[in-house]
Amino acid sequence: MREVRAEIDITAPAPSVWRVLTNFALYPEWNPFIRSVSGECINGGELSVTTASLFGILLNFQLKVDNILENRGMRWLGQTIRPGLLDGHHYFEIHELSPNKVRFVQYEEFSGFMLTPSWPVISPLSRRGFDSMNKALKERVEQDLAKAS
């Protein structure tokens, strides 16, 4: 198993971050990495997710939500054509640092038979995507709060 991780501090309460993170309909407006999400964001729900990759190529995944904790995070599982070839548990975590500040952590644990040969491509692309999404999430949440003030 290998992991890619990205973190960012956001000056906002956890529920504000959660609202933006789970409002999938607005992802095309602000999210440069996860371009669209559709489906049921409930434990056991299935999602169809489109991500942007190198050179703007869009990749589509069918995922299963297997853990949601309101205002704290969620996790989903993605698999390639067959379970065990290349699997990824993707985590979004919101850690409260103070009432008006959180640390947003996004990471994915990869495993499977195809992990070793694909790691040189997966690792940098995933990291770049996570970093870009985290920065965009921070901007969106903090701008929304500024507008509301």
Among left, alpha and beta (phi > 0; psi -120 to 50; other), residue 136 is: alpha
Per-residue pLDDT tens listing for the chain (149 residues): 999 999 999 999 999 999 999 999 999 999 999 999 999 889 999 999 999 876 678 888 889 999 999 999 999 998 776 778 899 999 999 999 999 999 999 999 999 999 999 999 889 999 999 999 999 999 999 999 999 87
pTM here is 0.93
Which architecture does CATH list for 2-25+66-148?
2-Layer Sandwich (3.30)
Domain extent listing, the chain: 2-25+66-148
Order of all β-strands in the sheet with 58-69: 2-10, 101-111, 87-98, 73-79, 58-69, 46-52, 34-39
What pLDDT, on the 0 to 100 scale, is given for residue 55? 67
Contact 32, 52 (CB under 8 A): yes
